[in-house]
Chains A and B, each alone.
Chain A
Amino acid sequence: MTGVWAILYREAHIYMRRWTKHAAAYAMSPFLFLLVFGWGVGRHVEMEGMTYLQFMLPGLATMSAMTQSYGMATEINIARFYWRIFEEFQMAPVSAWEIVLGEVLYGMVRGTLAAMVVYLMGGFFGTWVLPGPLAITFYLLHAFTFASAAVVAAMIVKSHADQGHINTFFIVPMSFLCGTFFPLERLPVWAEYAARALPLTHSNLAIRAALFGGAIPWGSVLALAAFGAVFFTLGIYLVRRAGV
């Protein structure tokens, strides 16, 4: 486990040094969405028996958690291609799984914190939704999945530009299509099926159910866990063969 602690040590120190910038980054995009869609456009709209802001808030928090935990990919890339710090991990007597677990744990903390900031902001907009232990557990699973995906993406790409392409073709469409801003059922059938093949959809379904007392869609929880397990395992494989 020495590698896990070492990576958490590094990330924690850098995070604490930049926490004000991180906090601002967590807040900026959700604030704009809350202001424009929640307050401006959706003020008098009802969705699934609740105000639009209530409906949107968990989706926004889940999206923010995804962005922040997946956002690690860019930082790993910088460490790999620009600072070349990743070499220091590769040359140390630690296993690939320790490197991946360290990065993923950091991503989980970062993603879950980002989600909590959105709920806090929702309160300032007059909509208090308090995530309970089950919702927080689902957030951790959600962040685990996207932090693992971040490691995979960071190890696959050959440059920062490649990273931008992954964001454009996978992360941005997921943000809009996976039940963040409106229920999946409003999509055309083909698009709904496509959305159900993406992990963010299952995060949204599970987290909304945990927050609003619906039947927990365990199939979605399992799907999310399966995505996470696949990404995590693939991440270990890719770190092991990096530079080969």
Chain B
Amino acid sequence: MLNSSNELAVETRGLVKEFGKLRAVDTLELSVGRDEIYGFLGPNGAGKTTTIRILTGTSRPTSGRALVGGVDIVKDPVGAKRHIGVVSQHINIDADLTVAENLHLHGLLHGMDKPSRLKRIRELLEFADLADRERSLARTLSGGMKRKLTIIRALMHEPRILFLDEPTTGLDAASRRRMWELVRTIHEGGVCVFLTTHYIEEAEALCSRVGIIHKGSIIAEGTPEELIKKSGEYAVDVVDDGRTETSCFPSREAAAEFLESSGHAGRLRPTNLEDLFLQETGRRVHL
């Protein structure tokens, strides 16, 4: 439980963002500690990216308050942005600059002097296994390498909070797992990670706490284990007339009994965050 503003990396109070009649973020209340990997889980269109855009100062809220690193992002955007690194959903590296030049540019934007930039670039290229591509034009990198470059670029100025907006979208399973390792290592280095994702397994594998967002509001929040238990320990997927119906149960025995009595083909498995989302909203996260 987080109870002091000093411990918070991200805090929102009554945050609202409207686009005309559409309320993309609806009275959002968030409290993310400085030592967390916080997963912001929800389907496409739930309000994840809009929230990130507000928290990173690229969009203004309609109302409410957002503090990043203890600084109000609306009142002092430049001050708040000093604390954060951002990895966008899209790979937004400068294709016409080399790998090192992309990192220099980011360092310059954050006011780093040349010796600090050079030292940090060496460290980060080693960290991401990109040292041999230092002088390559960014356009020549593979998709996975480009993604790694966007991540180390966000770490260039040693931010206290790293926002990762769906960082593994478009990556194959192996690259995704390597990315998770990278995120864990970054977190072990003392960086709070705020991660948006619509991959259930990503939230479960990486996050110390997860907030499930639906229609702009948090509908459930807790550790992955707490949230999974909330929906029950075991789930049964029953296929009936081509449709899969999922039911959750407090014990394996209860789940097995239900499957037997249903008279349909089905699968018994441990519950996951998807089941909770389905229970709370009537729809699946990963559409």
Contact = CB atoms under 8 A, between A and B. Distances in A.
B97 interface: yes
Contacts of B57: 90-91
A92 B78 CA distance: 7
A69 to B, nearest CB: 20
A13 B96 CA distance: 9
A10 B105 contact: yes
Interface in A55-111: 83-85, 87-95
A103 to B, nearest CB: 14
A244 interface: yes
Majority-rule SS of A interface residues: helix
A235 interface: no
Interface in B92-107: 92-97, 101, 104-106
Given A2-B108, A91-B86, A10 B97 contact: yes
Contacts of B82: 93
A234 interface: no
B196 to A, nearest CB: 15
Nearest to A99: B109
A88 B106 contact: yes
Given A5-B108, A6-B108, A14 B78 contact: no
A83 B96 CA distance: 10
A199 interface: no
Contacts of A186: none
B87 to A, nearest CB: 10
A9 interface: yes
A150 to B, nearest CB: 18
A84 B94 CA distance: 9
B95 A83 contact: yes
Given A10-B97, A87-B92, A244-B59, A93 B79 contact: yes
B81 interface: yes
B90 interface: yes
Nearest to B106: A88
Given A2-B111, A88-B106, A243 B58 contact: yes
A231 B264 CA distance: 70
B56 A84 contact: no
Contacts of A95: 78
Given A9-B104, A92-B110, A244-B59, A87 B88 contact: yes
Interface string A204-244: 00000000000000000000000000000000000000011
A13 to B, nearest CB: 6
A84 B59 CA distance: 15
Contact of B97 (A5, A14, A84, A91): A14
A118 B71 CA distance: 52
A83 to B, nearest CB: 6
Contacts of B105: 6, 9-10, 88
Interface string B70-82: 0000000111011
B97 to A, nearest CB: 6
B53 interface: yes
Contacts of B184: none
A2 B92 contact: no
Given A9-B104, A14-B97, A244-B59, A94 B109 contact: yes
Given A92-B81, A243-B59, A10 B90 contact: no
Contacts of B56: 91
B60 interface: yes
4 closest residue pairs by CB, A with B: A6-B108, A92-B109, A84-B92, A93-B81
Interface of B: 53, 56-60, 77-79, 81-82, 84, 86, 88, 90, 92-97, 101, 104-106, 108-111
9 contacts: A2-B109, A3-B109, A6-B108, A18-B96, A83-B92, A85-B93, A87-B88, A90-B58, A94-B109
Given A3-B109, A87-B58, 10 more contacts: A2-B108, A6-B108, A9-B108, A17-B96, A83-B95, A91-B56, A91-B81, A92-B106, A93-B82, A93-B109
